[in-house]
Amino acid sequence: MEIQERKMQYSRFSGAQNPFALKGMKEALERIIKAVNEREKIVIYGYYDLDGITAVSLLLLVLKYLNADVEYVVPEDMDEDFAINANIIKNHVKFLGAKLIITVGCGVNSVSQVELCKELGIDVIITDYHKCAEVLPETVIVNPNQVDCEYTFKDLTAVGIAFKIAQAISMYYQMKCISKYLDLVMIGTLSRNINLTGENKVMISQGMYHLNYTNNYGLKALIKIHKIVNINKESIYKLAYNIIPSSKSKRTVDNARIAVELFTTSNMDRAEQIAKYLKNEIKGNELCIS
Mean pLDDT of the chain: 89
- Residue-wise pLDDT tens digits, 216-263: 999 999 999 999 888 888 888 888 877 876 555 556 778 899 999 999
Beta strands in 100-199 (DSSP E): 100-104, 123-127, 140-142
Look up residue 130 and give its DSSP letter. S
- Residue-wise pLDDT tens digits, 14-64: 678 899 999 999 999 999 999 999 999 999 999 989 999 999 999 999 999
* Check whether domain 5-285 has CATH 3.40.640.10, yes or no: no
Return the pLDDT at 109.
93
Domain residue spans of the chain: 5-285
> How far apart (Å, rounded) are the C-alpha atoms in residues 183 and 76?
26
Question: What is the chain's alpha carbon radius of gyration, rounded to the nearest angstrom?
Answer: 18
Bridge pairing between strands 41-46 and 69-73 = parallel
Return the pLDDT at 246.
55
- Residue-wise pLDDT tens digits, 134-168: 899 999 999 999 999 999 999 999 999 999 999 99
Return the pLDDT at 157.
96
